Structure 1
Amino acid sequence: MTPQIPGSLTQRVPVADGVRLSAAVLGSGPAVVLLHGFPQTHLMWRLVAPALATDHTVICPDLRGYGDSDAPPADGPDTYSARTMAADVVALARELGHERFALVGHDRGALVAIRAGLDHPDVVTHLGSLDVLPTLDSWDILHGLQAAVAWHLYLMAQPPGLPEAMITATADQFFGSFLDAWGAGGLFPDDVRAEYLRASRERVPSIVADYRASAGIDVDHDRADRDAGRRLTMPVAVLQQDWGSALGFDAAALWGAWAPDLVHRTASAGHFMAEQDPALVVGTIRDLLTR
């Protein structure tokens, strides 16, 4: 049986141009949307969402091109841009009856959340990010041997064809390597790990298209916003590992340039912190929602 977020009801919701997102919904009250990272699905919130659902409507979608959401062909750079995915999230919440909502993302989902906050500041009331930097800053700090930690970014940035073929040929090994390298022994129950691998194996072209966009059109959008002085106007909370010290940059300062109302914290939990330390993540989100 496919694992589920306890107490949730899964819905398929139309968002744009025939695309439907699969979303687990639970609780009632003001809306909080939780966006998953790579190589995961909405299931990564299974230890966080029920705690928030005691007084909020919690919406956990699979992003466009991931999990059980639709994966349209990448017929242009916009199909899997963070801007398009952010618009999906706004449309999803609206279809579910929420014109405004808090938004929290991990990894790839956090990049979509940041873009939603920049593009839809009147809709996103609070913004949370787990263990990522804004796209433009990520590329700016990856130099020389430091870039080896993000080798997959460079692979999936290549023109269509070869990256998809290489990853498809070794899909479980490829996606499983990140679950192992970024996680901890025994972190994922067998059924959860199997679901992450199944979902990723079935979505190789769209996952690659998402990463390819973050090396192209997403950088263009970020740079245009930075040049125009656009910033995240809502309260922002960032929780991440202290990889700034290891790689020689000031993560809080980079985030502060985008978010004037910022609380930035480092955590000893690993990359998959919503599963490694769910109490910390729940507390961080609840603190954010009170601001």
Structure 2
Amino acid sequence: MGITIPGFETRPIGVADGIELNAAVGGEGPLLVLLHGFPQTHLMWRHVAPVLAEHHTVVCPDLRGYGASSKPEAATEDIYSKRAMAADVVGLADALGFDRFALVGHDRGAHVAFRAGLDHPDRVSHLGILDIVPTLDTWNVLRGVGAAVAFHLYLMAQPPGLPERMIQASADAFFGHFLDAWSSSSDAIPPDVRAEYLRACRDAVVSIVADYRATATVDIEHDQADLDAGNRFTMPVMVVQQDWGAQLGFDAAAIWRPWAADLEHFTTRAGHFMAEEAPEDVAILVMNLMKR
């Protein structure tokens, strides 16, 4: 048996025609869905989920295209749009019998959570965002040599073919770079978990690139349409970030305020993988969000 989240059952759950999400499920009570980031799987929540499961039904899925979840062929950019991935999350809640749920996402999962909050405000009761800015703003704030920190965004935005071949040629080095560079603690991701992340990414290069490519194309269109229409989050929103806005010369909290009337914004001293580096802090912040 591989690595699991203590006290959780991991199983595939059908969420749409032909799409299953591999999900760890535990606890009882109102539904709380935790979405992982890049280059990780649902295992990034292994320290946080058991704490939250004391008062909630907690579900940690692998996103579409990641881990052991379905990896449909990216016949169009819509297949890995955040809109399609957000619909997966709603389908997950439906399969578990919940009409409403709280949603917390990190990195790629945070982009999916962002879209779910806009597309499904009647379903998402609370929204937690860990270490991103909205997609539109991501591209707007990256400029000059400072954009080098996000070179992977530009690589994976290229048309199908070249980025997949480049990454597949040295997958462990590529994905391992981010596990090293984005962590402020050398022991936050132990060797067995690191090996599992690398194995999962190695097996999902094409779908991971498709996810990122959508963020440079169709996801921008969806977010711009919401911005132009004046659509905003109606639920309580919590954003937790490193102070990388200051490093790149922008005010992250100011970027988030136009999207959410009920916003709490925090910075952390932990690295990007805050749920693994500072799980107690993340669990407390999520519990406080749920009380709003």
* Range class of TM-score, shorter chain: over 0.9
Specify the code of the residue in structure 2 equivalent to 1:39.
Answer: P
Tell me, in whole angstroms, the C-alpha distance in 2 between the residues paired with 1:34 and 1:14.
Answer: 17
In structure 1, the residue matched to 2:99 is 99
Q: Could you list the structure 1 runs, at least 4 aligned residues long, displaced by more than 3 angstroms after superposition.
A: none
User: 1:23-48: per-residue Cα shift (whole Å, max 9, x none)?
Assistant: 00000000000000000000000000
How much does 1:159 deviate? 0.2
Tell me, in whole angstroms, the C-alpha distance in 2 between the residues paired with 1:187 and 1:288.
Answer: 24
How much does 1:2 deviate? 1.5
Tell me, in whole angstroms, the C-alpha distance in 2 between the residues paired with 1:125 and 1:145.
Answer: 39
Matches for 1:31-70 after TM superposition, within 5 Å:
31-70=31-70
How much does 1:215 deviate? 0.3
In structure 1, the residue matched to 2:260 is 259
Matches for 1:112-191 after TM superposition, within 5 Å:
112-183=112-183, 184-191=185-192
Tell me, in whole angstroms, the C-alpha distance in 1 between the residues paired with 2:196 and 2:2.
Answer: 7
- SS of the aligned residue for 1:257 comes to helix
Query: Contact 1:2 / 1:191 at 8 angstroms: preserved in 2?
Result: no
In structure 2, the residue matched to 1:86 is 86
What RMSD, in angstroms, separates the aligned Cα atoms of the two structures?
0.6
Tell me, in whole angstroms, the C-alpha distance in 1 between the residues paired with 2:189 and 2:96.
Answer: 30
Query: Contact 1:31 / 1:101 at 8 angstroms: preserved in 2?
Result: yes
- SS of the aligned residue for 2:128 comes to strand
Query: Contact 1:33 / 1:101 at 8 angstroms: preserved in 2?
Result: yes
Tell me, in whole angstroms, the C-alpha distance in 1 between the residues paired with 2:195 and 2:161.
Answer: 26
Tell me, in whole angstroms, the C-alpha distance in 2 between the residues paired with 1:176 and 1:247.
Answer: 23
User: 1:33-72: per-residue Cα shift (whole Å, max 9, x none)?
Assistant: 0000000000000000000000100000000000000101
Specify the code of the residue in structure 2 equivalent to 1:205.
Answer: V
Tell me, in whole angstroms, the C-alpha distance in 2 between the residues paired with 1:107 and 1:89.
Answer: 16
In structure 1, the residue matched to 2:250 is 249
Specify the code of the residue in structure 1 equivalent to 2:227.
Answer: R
Specify the code of the residue in structure 1 equivalent to 2:89.
Answer: V
Matches for 1:8-27 after TM superposition, within 5 Å:
8-27=8-27
Specify the code of the residue in structure 1 equivalent to 2:91.
Answer: A
- SS of the aligned residue for 2:283 comes to helix
User: 1:142-193: per-residue Cα shift (whole Å, max 9, x none)?
Assistant: 1111210100000000000000000001000000000000013222111100
In structure 2, the residue matched to 1:6 is 6
Deviates more, 1:112-121 or 1:136-145: 136-145
Tell me, in whole angstroms, the C-alpha distance in 1 between the residues paired with 2:278 and 2:126.
Answer: 21
Tell me, in whole angstroms, the C-alpha distance in 2 between the residues paired with 1:259 and 1:31.
Answer: 22
Specify the code of the residue in structure 1 equivalent to 2:151.
Answer: W
Normalization by structure 2: what TM-score? 0.99
Tell me, in whole angstroms, the C-alpha distance in 1 between the residues paired with 2:255 and 2:208.
Answer: 26
Normalization by structure 1: what TM-score? 0.99
Percent same amino acid at aligned positions? Answer: 66
Unaligned runs of 5+ in 2: none
- SS of the aligned residue for 2:105 comes to strand
User: 1:194-217: per-residue Cα shift (whole Å, max 9, x none)?
Assistant: 000000000000000000000000
Query: Contact 1:6 / 1:46 at 8 angstroms: preserved in 2?
Result: yes
How much does 1:11 deviate? 1.7
- SS of the aligned residue for 1:60 comes to strand
User: 1:107-148: per-residue Cα shift (whole Å, max 9, x none)?
Assistant: 000000000000000000000011111111101111111210
Tell me, in whole angstroms, the C-alpha distance in 2 between the residues paired with 1:138 and 1:39.
Answer: 18
Specify the code of the residue in structure 1 equivalent to 2:122.
Answer: D
In structure 2, the residue matched to 1:238 is 239
